[in-house]
Amino acid sequence: MSLLENRCTGEGLDASHALVVKQVPVETTVKHIEETLMNIKALGRVRVRGRMFNPQSQSLMVLCECSERVNTKTIPLDVPPIEGGELWTLHGPADDEENVNTEKSQTDPLPQGSSPSTEEAAAPEMLSSDSMPGNSAESIIKVVGDLLAKTMRPAQDSNVFRCLRAYSGLSPIPSGEESLDTWMQQAQLMVDESDCSIREKRRRIVESLKGPALEIAQAVRANDPVASPGEYIEALERAFGSPESPEDLYFSFRALHQSVGERLSDFLQRVERKLTKVVQRGGITPNLRDSARVEQLLRGATESDILLLQLRLRERKRNPPSFLTLLNEIREEENLPLDGPGDGDDEHGRWDYGFLLVEGLRVGP
């Protein structure tokens, strides 16, 4: 992989929208770099994503992300800074590999007693079948597959978690923005599942914020420049979330009841949303989550007594099902057609015109 690709992989960037700027003086500010590069219209909006000091040139190498795809044939390779000084050199995806090979050949001299001809002769020997133990088509395919898995995973991760929806903390919620609960779920999923660096996760969170929410994030950064992404999420929840205590959330969860005409599957999802908040705030420990869900379903589902009996939830309280398992079972029961007269399903515990059959026993009205 080229230097540009390696750096983009580490920062979670798309290499086709990135470039490296070299010969940048150490004292140059980020704002100065971005303003200089945005004078090149083909790059679009430019943001600095990383800087590294080069001891050989005593200058900075700056990694930048561009809103437009970088094409080295349509941009100048040398750029004068807006405040004057020596030219900066731009290196995009197309020419970066050549620069890496050139720099390596210049900085890595040959060992004593060796020559280009001897190295060229040694290269095929290193790849010969004698030097590769267990050489076979299967082993080669496995090595290539492992390499592709390692190189492609960050790119896929970058696409999945590329952008969070906007959140400002304003009420009512402006068009195109998410509510706090929805935004927090997306942000927490990105923090938990994304393989990108902590710095990149922090950047994605801040970029999705604006208005009062951005002011809270700026306060967190001013207080602790290396605050974790989770600390940003917690600060936003404290600022814009519900002021209810864990005990208040727990009691409001226990007060949930099924509405008239509400399907049991819809009520279960409403219970789950409330239960998630209670667990997040510490009102219920995570290991009791499944039990609390079943207990509240039995307590609050006053419009679905028959369906609860068919699911045998009271008998399963000691070993409660997970949310997805329970939701699937409920939807399967809801989608079953009601039995008509003469269907012969009495022994299966189905409806039969006002009669409830439980385990083969007929209970009449």
Q: All domains of the chain, ordered by start, with CATH?
A: 3-102 (3.30.70), 152-241 (no CATH), 246-334 (no CATH), 338-365 (no CATH)
What is the pLDDT averaged over residues 306-323?
90
Say what the pLDDT of residue 138 is.
66
Phi and psi dihedrals of 24, rounded to 5?
-90, 125
DSSP reduced 3-state for 196: coil
**Of 52-56, 57-61, 85-89, 344-348, the least confident:** 344-348
Say what the pLDDT of residue 268 is.
94
> ∠ CA(115), CA(121), CA(127), 5° rounding?
130
Report the percent of the chain where pLDDT is more than 70: 74
Burial readout 121-136 (b: 16 or more C-beta within 10 A, e: otherwise): eeeeeeeeeeeeeeee
Tokens of 158: 């970058």
Quick one: pLDDT band at residue 130, thresholds 50, 70, 90? very low
C-alpha pair distances (Å), 332 with each of 164, 290, 298, 327, 350 = 34, 20, 18, 9, 14
Decide if 91 contacts 76 (C-beta within 8 A).
no
Quick one: pLDDT band at residue 133, thresholds 50, 70, 90? very low
Decide if 326 contacts 296 (C-beta within 8 A).
no
Quick one: pLDDT band at residue 139, thresholds 50, 70, 90? low
**pLDDT higher than 80, residue 266:** yes
**CA atoms of 8 and 27, how far apart (whole Å):** 24
Phi and psi dihedrals of 285, rounded to 5?
-75, 145
C-alpha pair distances (Å), 319 with each of 12, 166, 288, 312, 313 = 42, 40, 11, 12, 10
Say what the pLDDT of residue 343 is.
45
Close Cβ partners of 271 (under 8 Å, ≥ 6 residues apart): 253, 256, 293, 296, 297, 300
Average predicted confidence (pLDDT) for the chain: 78
- DSSP at 286: G
Amino acid at 148: L
Read off the pLDDT of residues 208-220 as tens digits, 9 standing for 90 and up: 999 999 999 999 9
Give the pairing of strands 78-79 and 88-91. Answer: antiparallel
Burial readout 217-245 (b: 16 or more C-beta within 10 A, e: otherwise): beebeeeeeebebbebbebbeebbeeeee
